[in-house]
Amino acid sequence: MEIRDWPATKSCAIRKPFRCFLDFGSALCSFVFLGALLAACGVQGDPQPPRPQIPAAITDVAVRQAGNGAVLTFTPPRATLEGEKLEKFPDLEIFRGYTSPDAKLPPSVSALRLIYTVPSAVVDTYLLQDRVEFTDALKPDEVAAHTGQRLVYLVRTRVSKKQASPDSNVAGVVLYPAPEAVRDLHFDIVESGVSLAWTQPLLASGGQPLGSLGGYRIYRAELETLPASSKETRPKLPPALVGVAPSPSYLDERIEWGRTYAYTVRSVAQYPTDSVESADSNPVQVTPRDIFPPGPPRDLVAVYVASSGETPANVELSWAISTEPDLAGYNVYRNGQGTAQARLNRELLLTPTFRDISVIAGGQYTYAVTAVDRTGNESRPSTAVAAVIPKPGE
């Protein structure tokens, strides 16, 4: 039997599929490894812009009518829907609409119309004590056209064209004709405080006759001087109601001398279910200073006391205690024979007594006492009293 070698070509033909299989497997492994590597790199990727911060909804919108307009107040959002701190104020969008007084308030912004957009850059200019105060000025004819209807508002914030906060609560107020603003507000500084007076309005702001005038409300803000200026001032706090008046005058007795105040007055129209304030009057600014002296002391008495031991002859003075709330003390004055009036005490007396030990035997003296307040204002002299010093042997 002849034994032959396996033809090389056939041997290659048989072994080649296996080698091809191995080559394919290596390529497949390489592809899988490369894909995994690329996938791992894809996790890192390029830096992505941060997601827009969606503000939380405003929940405390309130509104009141002030003259021919409405004043909205609310707390701007400080956090996102996720509870993260907002980096800056978003834009404010204010929506407005009208309904009948007994209608259910619109549940969403779809029933209202966008009337204002306040850019984020100027939102802080509307802040008063961390709340936004925004005035929507209405024309008199618009107020007249919607008198008796409810004016409603809704607010939301926006961070981008497609990203806005949820809607706020809806707040409303029934519109009525407002009285004209008070005119010619002026003041006088009197001993008991700041006296205000003004001209009584006779018409509503739209020019129609005014119905029942319910009096006036007086508002006051204390001002402070800005650090960078000796002339420019700003309110320490928003204006606050300090009193009401049935007639066009008011005396503010709750002041502190030397402080600066700004006053405004609003007239009030009374309606069956509500009252409506006018717009603010012209403001007046006043720094009341105490230029009013206390009253003169009363019941001054002078008693001659003879010398005793080491105590020389003297005149003892006493008088009634002054009841002035800002009393600082007293001065004692004396006139002598041939001498002009002179003050006897170097420092203010804190008690209503004084002993004059500089008298001379045989002299005749006249005494008077004044009261001085903490500002330095000195009263008129008291009723004078006389004292005669006996000569030796008399």
pLDDT digit string, tens, across residues 144-194:
889 889 999 999 999 988 899 999 999 999 999 889 899 999 999 999 999
Q: Is pLDDT at 30 greater than 60 in this prediction?
A: no
**What average pLDDT does range 73-85 have in this prediction?**
92
Q: Are 394 and 304 within 8 A, CB to CB? A: no
Confidence category of residue 392, pLDDT binned at 50, 70, 90: confident
Q: Are 76 and 286 within 8 A, CB to CB? A: no
Q: Strand runs (DSSP E) across 36-137, as ranges?
A: 62-65, 69-74, 91-99, 113-118, 127-128, 131-137
Task: Look up residue 260 and give its two tokens.
Answer: 């600066």
Q: Is pLDDT at 109 greater than 90 in this prediction?
A: no
Nearest to 66, CA basis, from 3, 137, 155: 137
**What average pLDDT does range 4-28 have in this prediction?**
44
> Which helix or strand (DSSP H or E) is residue 156 part of?
strand 150-158
- Mean pLDDT over all residues of the chain? 85
The Cα–Cα gap between 373 and 394 comes to 42
Name all contacts of 105-109 with Cβ < 8 Å and 24+ positions apart: 105/152, 105/170, 105/172, 106/152, 106/154, 106/170, 107/170, 108/154, 108/167, 109/154, 109/156, 109/167
Q: Is pLDDT at 257 greater than 60 in this prediction?
A: yes
Q: Are 371 and 322 within 8 A, CB to CB? A: yes
CATH 2.60.40.10 residue ranges for the chain: 62-174, 183-286, 301-388
Task: Look up residue 97 and give its two tokens.
Answer: 């609409």
Residues 6+ apart with CB under 8 A from 69: 135, 136, 137, 138, 279
Give the pLDDT confidence score for residue 308 in this predicted structure: 87
Q: Are 265 and 216 within 8 A, CB to CB? A: yes
Q: Is pLDDT at 5 greater than 70 in this prediction?
A: no
Q: Is pLDDT at 142 greater than 50 in this prediction?
A: yes
Q: Are 328 and 348 within 8 A, CB to CB? A: yes
**What's the CA angle centered on 73, arms 114 and 274, to 5 degrees?**
95
- Which fold would CATH assign to domain 301-388? Immunoglobulin-like (2.60.40)
Confidence category of residue 44, pLDDT binned at 50, 70, 90: low
Nearest to 378, CA basis, from 321, 325, 330: 330
Q: Is pLDDT at 38 greater than 50 in this prediction?
A: no
pLDDT digits (tens, 9 = 90+) for 337-386: 777 889 999 999 999 999 999 999 999 999 999 999 999 999 999 999 99
**What's the CA angle centered on 299, arms 297 and 304, to 5 degrees?**
115
CATH for 183-286 (3.40.50.2300, 2.60.40.10, 2.30.30.90, 2.40.10.10):
2.60.40.10
The Cα–Cα gap between 379 and 33 comes to 104
Q: Are 361 and 390 within 8 A, CB to CB? A: yes
The Cα–Cα gap between 59 and 114 comes to 18
Q: Which CATH superfamily is domain 62-174 in?
A: Immunoglobulins (2.60.40.10)
Give the pLDDT confidence score for residue 50 in this predicted structure: 65
* Percentage of residues of the chain with pLDDT beyond 90: 60
Confidence category of residue 391, pLDDT binned at 50, 70, 90: confident
Strand-strand pairing, 260-270 and 284-286: antiparallel
Cβ of 168: how many Cβ atoms within 10 Å? 22
Task: Look up residue 303 and give its two tokens.
Answer: 């008693």
Q: Is pLDDT at 21 greater than 60 in this prediction?
A: no
Q: Are 200 and 245 within 8 A, CB to CB? A: no
Give the pLDDT confidence score for residue 304 in this predicted structure: 95
pLDDT digits (tens, 9 = 90+) for 262-302: 999 999 998 887 889 999 999 999 999 999 999 999 999 99
β-pair partners for 386: 366
Residues 6+ apart with CB under 8 A from 316: 302, 303, 305, 353, 354, 355, 356
Give the pLDDT confidence score for residue 240 in this predicted structure: 93
